[in-house]
Each structure stands twice: as C-alpha cells, then as structure tokens.
Amino acid sequence: MYSVCVRDHFMIAHSFEGEIFGPAQKLHGATYVVDVEFRRETLDEDGVVVDIGRAGEALRAALTELNYRNLDEEKAFEGNNTTTEFLAFVIFKRMATGCRNGALGASARGLSSMRVTLHESHVAWAAYEGALETT
C-alpha cells in the first residue's frame, strides 16, 4: 500500500460537558496539528498517490471553517463534545468530500483509504480512518 501525508494546523476554543473531562469542562483553547494520510494500492499513471499540492490546499480549505472559532458557538456542533476524536471524523468527512468532488484532482479517484490524525500535543493524538469510495 502506497501513502502520502499532508500536514496543517488550526486553533480553536471549546469546552466539554461531562465529569470525565475535569477542568476541560471550562472554555479552553487548543492548537491541533493535522495529518491526512492518503492510501492506494497502486500508483497512478503519473507515479503518485495523489497530487500533494492539491491535497494540501484541500486540507487548508477543510480547516478554514474551524480555525480561530469557538466551537461551542457553532450550530453544526451543537449537542456534541468536540473532542479530538470527533474533530478527526469531521475533517475526514470534509476531505472525503474533496476526494469525491475533484478538489484533489484525477489521481484521487484511485484512493482506497484515508487516515486523519489530530495531534493535540507531542504526547497525545487521536485519529479516524476509513475507506474511500472515489471511483
């Protein structure tokens, strides 16, 4: 399996509901480093997994609506704890849409899976991984 990974970051504020979150129940900030790994069985006719430039642009676009936002105020997330795991899935869905709608170019049609990893620090991260239906 071949893979290519692109990286970006975004900054948010949010709070959580539930005793499990301790002091994180109060409003706090987070800066996430995001890795998106694209995978495919064989390289395309140009010898690549995906257009890395377009992949980086698509990731930046997927993060734009999250960056510098208080997620507690976003209607789309109402009723959800915007945990690192939850946000990894949100970004996965946005990137998968980009793969399907052509934002990553023709090579994205051959992708088989993708993994989105959010690093909340140098010692803790979470991810969401799934198959892609891009053909």
CATH assignment of the domain containing 76? 3.30.479.10
pLDDT in tens, 57-102: 999 999 999 999 999 999 999 999 999 999 999 999 999 999 998 8
The 3-state DSSP class for residue 118 equals: strand
Domain carrying residue 109: 2-131
Number of structural domains the chain divides into: 1
The angle at the Cα of 75, spanning 20 to 95, to the nearest 5 degrees, equals: 85
The single-letter code of the amino acid at 33 is: V
pLDDT mean over 37-41 = 96
H or E element that contains 28 = strand 28-40
